[in-house]
Structures are given as structure tokens and as C-alpha cells.
Structure 1
Amino acid sequence: MTASEDPMMPATPPTGDGASPLFVHLSDIHFDRKDISHNGANVMARENLIDDLHEGVRHLGVPDAVLVTGDIAFSGQAHQYDEARVFLKRVTDTLGIEPEQVQVVPGNHDVDRGLVTGSVQATHEALRREMPIDADNRLPGLYREASDPLFAPMAAYRDFAVNYDCDVSGEYPFWETEWQLGRHSVLRMRGLTTCIVSDGDDRRANLIVGLRQASVATEARDDVVMVLGHHPTDWWHDMDECEEVMRDYVSLGLFGHKHVARLSVVDNSIRIVAGAVHPERHSDWVPRYNWVRVGVRDEDGPDPRLDAHIWSRVMLPSVNRFRSDSDEGGWNPHVKQVPLVRWARARRSASPTIVSAVPEQAELPTPPTAVEEPTPVDTDLAHTTDTGADEPVAMPGAPLVPQPPLAARAPVIAGDGRPERVRTAIYAFGELHFSAQMKLLAGFDLLEDGDQSLPPTEIRMRAFARLRASDRLDEFMAAIEVALRHDGDGRPPDPPSDYKESGN
């Protein structure tokens, strides 16, 4: 009996030792627009999503993380993230994982456009007029500017994302984590910020990412690189330049923004574009989300391959529930494989014959039914204009001038299904009131001269970097638990006005 015949039979093995991590991929939640938060159809869609997540756990097992590829808010306002945080907590409770097992990247709706004025708007316009390589050369200086023209408009998003250890800034425009993959490989996940020049003039091929974010080259033989971003690469002004440095390194990319489901292979890289949890309300309103499992085949052999199983879920109004986007229904995955070119090339150059000392790995099971690609359902974005077809747009560019990648925060191994303890501490710390947070950081000597003049998000990032370098994590966790008992639970209030993030 196959998984499609028996609804209680898992379609793939459980995550177990983390060899094939399983993710829930959400995108374009768009809290808190009135018709999203309170419209009956959208409320129903969220209830149906929760029901489908419960069914997904029964069929596929407990996921390792929830990945949200942007547009968490509708207009980058703090209260919108309060609502999103409550919703995501309900999602993780349903899945049976911890709330800190959520990882997020920002989208264009996570930019407060009320802050994109004057010099910030002028900076965006100037970058877009540049050739991609010239714009990239300007980014390091802009990252260091005190006015923070690229990240200041994302202040509310950053206050939200720091709770999930996913904050971004001029110092760290991306984040990284790592997951165990196969028996001895590593899935390195990088969260990109594709909206650093997002404003009212957003359109295809005029958003800038920069080579520092795209430079994921690694000499580690057992690294498989996966990127998360809101905008697919055909929306990037520097698409050609970034694709060149990602070639042969990025084997998997998860994106959002288009409100359509897309599944393709580009230059030996699997690209998954999620539909929207809350698309625009009109005649072809179709909420979507994905489950994604990642594994490796022939891990120690001459033909290593990345294997992705994608369960694309769609809520059709006619059936009033989520279901597979295939005609077969059930939990039948789409399957994509790509060669791990860099691995194979290294092995061929090292020796014409490779004999593994490790017994051959059992391959992931073949799914019961291979289904056709989903039929895309196009919907419009509230703040963007889609000006062309889905084919990538070729951009002219100067010769590539490689730059060293910006150092990332220390990644973590999280493949055993449990969040890294520092992530747990970061999320719990976010439940404290601001005064209790500062008292705790001071008590553990995690504040330095000058920190008090920084925005709260920067203070937390720097303090937790120091905590990671110390051996006091257990003490710190115990102190958070004590503080929570005295401070009470719930979302902390805003910090004092002199700690507010701004463009100044």
C-alpha cells in the first residue's frame, strides 16, 4: 500500500537524525491589512491552514523549522508584527515545535515607506541609475552611514526579526544557520535581504542585493548552500552579477513575492517560489504554502545529488480546505534533483576512482506519484507592479569585480530537530519588558561603553554575540526564567523614546 492509498502512512521517513531536514515554507502573510486580519475569507484561510499543518505532521512528521520568505507585515508597522508573532506562535504550536524554530527574511511590505523620503529616496534612485557593479561598490559605504538609509525603513521588522535571531543590518545584511544533511554533510542556509532599496518604484529588475550577500562560495566539500529571499532573482537589478557568484554553490533557493507557485531548475539550482498565505482579494484569490524536505543521494559516490521533495498546498474556495495542487490530491510531492557539481568536480580532480570507506547510503524512497508542475495562479501585489513575463530579465553589467564576502554571524548546527540554545535564549529574552532586558544584560556584563546610544535591536545583537563567545549561557537562561516569573509573560512594551530606531 502506498502513502497515497493510506492517508496515515508517512510519504517520506521522519526527520529522525536530521539527515533530511523538513521545512514548512510560508510567504506573503501581509498582517495587518483590514481585509486580511478581519475579512471572513482570510480568517477561514488561516483556520484551514492550521488544520492542514496538523494533517501535514501526521503525513510527513514534525518539521525542523518554519521558513517565512517575507512580506510578514502589510506596511512595516510595529503592531502588524505583534499580530504576525501571535499567528506564528499558533503555527509552531500546531506543528509541535518551539516558537524560535521560525526563520524570517524581509519583503517589500516589511519596509515602512513613510520612512523612505528625502535622502533615503534619493539614495535608492541613485543606486538604481548605476550599473550593477558600480551600485555594488557603493553599498559598503552606505552600510556604514550613520543615517542607515538602507535599513532604517525596516526598523519595526528588525525589532520583530531579532526575536528569531534573524535580524539584518548594514553590519550583517544576511544571516546564516546550518543543518545536518545526510550522514556527514551540512545544509548552509542564508537569509537574504532583497528589499534594501524597496520603495514606491519597485518593479522587476530594479532591486539591489549586492555581491556580499550573494557570495556564498565555500571550500568545505560537504556544504550544500540554500538561500531564502523574498524577491526571486529576476527582480534583482544585479541579477546577472549575483547569479554568477552563486553558480555551482547555491543548490536550493526559496522565494516569495509573486503570489504564484513556481518550481524550476536554474543552473543546477532548484528554485521554489511560494504562493501567498494571504493573496490579494479578487476573483483568483488562492492561498498557498509549501512543505519542503531536503536530502542527498550518492553522498559519498561519484554522482552526488541534492534531492528536494515539495508538497505544494493550495486552498481552493470550491472545497474550502487546503489540498495538493496535483490532480491526484493526497500528499504526493513534486520531486526535483540537481547534481552537486562542486562535490563531483572536486572528487574527479582528486582521484579518477573514489572508494568510500563508509557503507553506501540508502537512498530516499521514490514517492508514490510524480506529479506535474503546478499551474501558476497570478495575483497582483498591493505595492508593486509586475511589468513583464516570468522569464529572467538579462541586465547589462560591467566585468565582475569580486569582493570578499562580509563575515556572517556564527552559524549553528540545528539538525537534531531542536533549536540551538542561544536561539531559545533570544526568543525568551524577547518576552521580557525593556527595562528587565537591560538589567539582565548589564548584570551579565554584556553591555559595553557606547551601547546605550544604539537602537535596541543593535544592543541585543551585540550582547548576544558576546554571550555566544562566553561560557555563561546556562546561567543566562536560568536568569531569564527568573525574570519572566517576576516580569510576567506577553509582548513587551516599546522601549523609551530615546531608544527608538530612526534614520538619524
Structure 2
Amino acid sequence: MAVTWLHISDLHVRSDNSYDRAVVFQALVSSVRHFRESDGRCPDLIFATGDIAHSGKPDEYSFAAKFLDELLGASGLERTHLYVVPGNHDVDRTIGNQLTRTLYSRDEADKYFDPGARKLHLIEKLGAFLRWHRIFFDGIRTMPDNSTCGPVELVEVRGLRLGILPINTALFCQDDNDHEQLFVGRRCLSPAIEELDQLSAHLKIALMHHPLHDLSHIERANIKAGLIDHLDVILSGHLHEAGCGTVEMWRGSNLYCAAGATYQTRKWPNTAYYATFDRDHVTIFPIRYEDHPREAWTLDTSLFPDTGYEASFPVPREPNFRSFRTPGSDQYGGNRGKPLISARFPAWSKVIPQVRCFRTDPAG
């Protein structure tokens, strides 16, 4: 028994009929169909971790929706099998100029992420993404407008139960200086994790656009601890570089995977990957776009050259490892004073050498 997903990210769709982008997208659609029909590599789910659009404008999502529907068709899937979170390019920066740049204390963050408080950064700056998401997934799922986390879902495929937690890291994105300015909100993450823990999933997956080191130091340790304690796999984008690696802990490990960019012009690397979970391991099959002699997505031999071009990572860790809890506000009492692993946990870039954390491409 196994379940396979296709992880894409960073589409950067503009509101134009770009030939350059169309070539890359059509090649991916054709190659995914070929992988399914000729090689038996059939995704059960597709995860898209942000930057669906280029500047968060409504017209951009019309073009993106067409591509996503074509990709689903090539995969033999429907919209219910697709999960999407926003990225920094899904933010309308012209609206963001009227809102506070970031938060400056724990108290301020806890007040901002009160479930009853209006999240103008989400409703306004990400308004076009939010409206598109609700229309595209109408009758399937609804992205919350009062939280960065959710909706939490349980997906069962051939007897394997996957818990899926979408996380919106883009609320406070505004310009090229977003590093350490971003917030998820522990008051959003804590109840989502509690809901996820009740699903009895064989594998728990978080979807987010930004790597954790882009979060503000005010809450980074809390968010990191919550994800490490309760999630098995963290999928991200943003870096425009593909990479996977394990974060080893006392009784197991977390798997962290970055998809690279699906499109950042034909001159820059365009990458994605398939992942297959078989109860004990997640096996990564990376793919990349080749522009000549034929436009096609093929096996990416550069990522795992020493392991036959694929790599297998053990997951999940033992259940009793999840003994720590995410520290929360007093409304989630009982967490204060509990031990945290984050204080002794190094930065992602230091424990995952295959994730290259520097980006020099023009897409941003």
C-alpha cells in the first residue's frame, strides 16, 4: 500500500499569454500524463505551496486555474485532490502599503491572531487569492479568513490516512525585505494542531510557502516546536531550489522538502517532484524542465546523484515522541512551563544540507 503526491510550487503566473510560461506549463502537463500512462507514476494528490500568481491580481488566477485544471486532468485527478497555499507573490503589495508592516511583540501577535479579530492582511492583501480559492474549491473546502491555518483535512488513500495542514505564511509579506518579518500566529497553529492530532493519521503533512527561518524571531521558536512535535513532513517553496532532508531527533525524524519553482522563466531551473509514502518511508522522485532538444520534464539527476537519483527517507517517527506541546496563549492553558525542543534545535539550513537557501533568480 502506498500513496503518491506531486509537489509543485512558485508558478508566478502573470495576466498575459506568455509563450515562455506556456511552453514550460504545457511540457509539465504532457510529462505528467506520460509518467502516469507509460511509467505508472500516478499521483493521488497534488500540493502547490504558494506563489500561484505573480502580484496577487485577480486576472492572474484565471490563467493559473486553467493550468491547474489541465495538470489535474493529466494526473487523472479532480480539484478535490489539489491543495494550495499562498506565497509572497499572492500578496497585492499596493494594498499592503496601507497596513502595518509586521508585529513587534508577543503580546501584539497574540492580540492580532485573536480568532475574533479581523485579519486585514489576509482579507485585503490576499483578497484576490482568497476569493479565487473559494470559487475554485467551491463545495470542496473553504480557506479561513480569520486564521492562517487550515482547513485541516484527513485524506484516506488505499487504507493510508494522511492528515493535511495548510499554513498561510504570507500575511505580512510586502517587499524584498520579508525575512524575519513574517508571522503564522501560535493562536492559529495551536488549535489546528490539536485538530490534526485527533485524526489518527498515518502521516501528518504541513504545507507552507516560506521556510521557517523567514518567520519573526518573536514566534519562530514556538512555531518550529509545534511543527516538529506534531508533523511528520513539511512541504515548502519560495527558495526556488529543490531539496529534501531529514531532521534527526531522539526517537525519529521530520522530513523537510522544498519543491523549487515550477516556473521562473525557461533560463532558470524549473523543478518539482513526486513523493511516495509506504507507511515506513517517503521516496522522492525529482523532476526538472529540459528546454532542448525537446521541451519536457524529466528525472532530475542532480539532486540525489549518489542514491540512484531517488532518495528514501524514514517516516513517521514513533508516536510517543510527540510528547511536547505547542506553547500557546492562556486560552490554551496547560502548556506553559513544559519543555521545548526548539532551544536546542539548529537552523534548517544547518541540518538540511541539501536545501540550498540562497536565491539569485529574478522572479523573487
**What TM-score does the superposition give when structure 1 sets the normalisation length?**
0.57
CA distance in 2, matches of 1:236, 1:375: 18
| From 300, 308, 314, the counterpart of 2:282 | 308
SS in structure 2 of the partner of residue 159 of structure 1: helix
Aligned residue in 1 for 2:107: 134
Q: Does 1:157 align with 2:139?
A: no
Q: 2:162 aligns with which of 187, 200, 213?
A: 187
1:27 and 2:12 matched: no
Aligned to 1:450: none
What pairs with 1:388-399 in structure 2 (closer than 5 Å)? none
Counterpart mapping for 1:78-157 below 5 A: 78-118=58-98, 120=99, 122=100, 124-125=101-102, 127=103, 129-130=104-105, 133-141=106-114, 144-146=116-118, 148-157=120-129
Q: CA deviation at 1:202?
A: 3.7
Check 1:223–1:138 CA distance in 2 against 1; reply closer, same or farther (3 A cut): farther
Q: Quote how far apart the aligned CAs of 1:280 are.
A: 4.9
Q: Distance in 1 between matches of 2:189 and 2:361?
A: 28
**CA displacement, residues 438-458 of structure 1 (integer Å, 9 cap, x when unaligned):** xxxxxxxxxxxxxxxxxxxxx
Relative distance call for 1:222 and 1:200 in structure 2 (3 A) is closer
Q: Give the equivalent residue in structure 1 for 2:24.
A: 45
- Aligned partner of 2:208 in structure 1 is 229
Residue 175 of structure 2 aligns with which residue?
A: 200
Distance 1:99 1:241 in 2: 33
Q: Which amino acid aligns with 2:220?
A: M
Q: Counterpart in 2 of 1:212?
A: 187
Range 209-218 or range 108-117, more displaced: 209-218
Task: Give, as a single letter, the amino acid of the residue that structure 1 aligns with 2:225.
Answer: E
Please, which of 295, 308, 314 is the counterpart of residue 337 of structure 1? 314
RMSD between aligned alpha carbons?
A: 2.9
Q: Aligned to 2:34, which of 36, 41, 55? A: 55
CA offsets 1:336-360 (integer angstroms, 9 cap, x no match): 11352325789xxxxxxxxxxxxxx
Partner of 2:220: 239
CA distance in 2, matches of 1:228, 1:182: 22
Aligned-partner Cα distance in 2 for 1:135–1:222 = 34
- Once the two structures are overlaid, the 10-residue window that deviates more, 189-198 or 170-179, is 170-179
1:296 alignment partner in structure 2? 279
Cα distance, 1:181–1:205 mapped onto 2, change above 3 Å: farther
Alpha-carbon distance between aligned partners in 2 of 1:60 and 1:153, rounded to the nearest angstrom: 41
Distance change (3 Å), C-alpha of 1:48 and 1:149: closer
Distance change (3 Å), C-alpha of 1:335 and 1:265? same
Cα offset, 1:144, TM superposition:
3.6
Other-structure match for 1:277: 262
C-alpha displacement of 1:108: 0.7
Which of 209, 225, 235 is 1:254 aligned to? 235
* Greater Rg over alpha carbons, structure: 1
1:324 aligns with 2:305: no
Unaligned residue ranges in structure 1 (runs of 5+):
1-18, 298-306, 347-371, 384-504
Q: Deviations over 1:274-315 (max 9, x none)?
A: 111111565xx0111111112313xxxxxxxxx111111011
Change beyond 3 A, Cα 1:261–1:31: same
Q: For residue 380 of structure 1, what is the aligned residue in structure 2?
A: 361
User: What residue number does 1:489 align with?
Assistant: none
Distance in 1 (CA, whole Å) between partners of 2:56 and 2:162 is: 31
Q: What SS does the corresponding residue of 1:83 show, helix, strand or coil?
A: helix
1:168 and 2:144 aligned? yes
SS of 2:180's partner is coil
For 2:25 and 2:264, how far apart are their aligned partners in 1? 12
1:87 to partner: Cα distance: 0.8
CA contact (8 A) 2:148 2:168 kept: no
Which ranges of structure 2 fall in alignment gaps of 5 or more residues? 324-352
- The 1-side partners of 2:129 and 2:65 are apart by 11
Between 104-113 and 42-51, the greater mean CA deviation after superposition: 42-51
Distance 2:318 2:181 in 1: 30
In 2: Cα distance, 1:85 partner to 1:202 partner: 29
CA distance in 2, matches of 1:160, 1:314: 28
What secondary structure sits across from 1:296 in the alignment? Answer: coil
Matched AA of 2:36: V
Q: Using the alignment, how far apart are the partners of 2:80 and 2:158 within structure 1?
A: 24
Assess if the C-alpha contact under 8 Å between 1:326 and 1:374 holds in 2: no
